[in-house]
Structure 1
């Protein structure tokens, strides 16, 4: 189980190195359904991904922020990709790789 986790996080880091412009700090988190990698960035994503929803609350709109919800398939991983913008610029990319056997509607779409 630990080897699978390390392999998935290795692929997520490789995805970041190839497709995220100017990555900064990275943090990881695991829950029962998926592995998450949080990447602070100043450049955003350099890969075309399919986006299905966008959210911006009143405070976010005031500060030029939004959250863009997308998905991608790469190297056998089904990835949910969330991009967070502040002041009109990308600040955070969250990559979520779903575990095998996780019940996920794929491809995701707006509820």
Structure 2
């Protein structure tokens, strides 16, 4: 499974947990730390945890290794590290505060298929 297919699979898993404003950024030309970011948010801590858990469960099912997950207990900003892809699952308040899309504004957006919450 290539990275774009993995990103779409992750986006679908996030959508299944009703994540909002799912955005994927191609980081290959702007950062050395990872190839892609996937960013989304939930409206409360329980939903943020459910989204992150959904990503992990989906990746386990597809055989993609989750290297680490940070911030799960606080559920304000959970980082799910898949090596070439880093998922940022925010609580809506933190998403607006950190505004990664603006911070990494030079990164191209990856088109995700229809059906994403917005």
Given the two structures, how large is their TM-score scaled by the length of structure 2? 0.40
Given the two structures, how large is their TM-score scaled by the length of structure 1? 0.42
Larger Rg: 1
Structure ranking higher in helix proportion: 2
Structure ranking higher in strand proportion: 1
For CA contacts below 8 A with separation 6 or more, give which structure has more relative contact order. Answer: 2
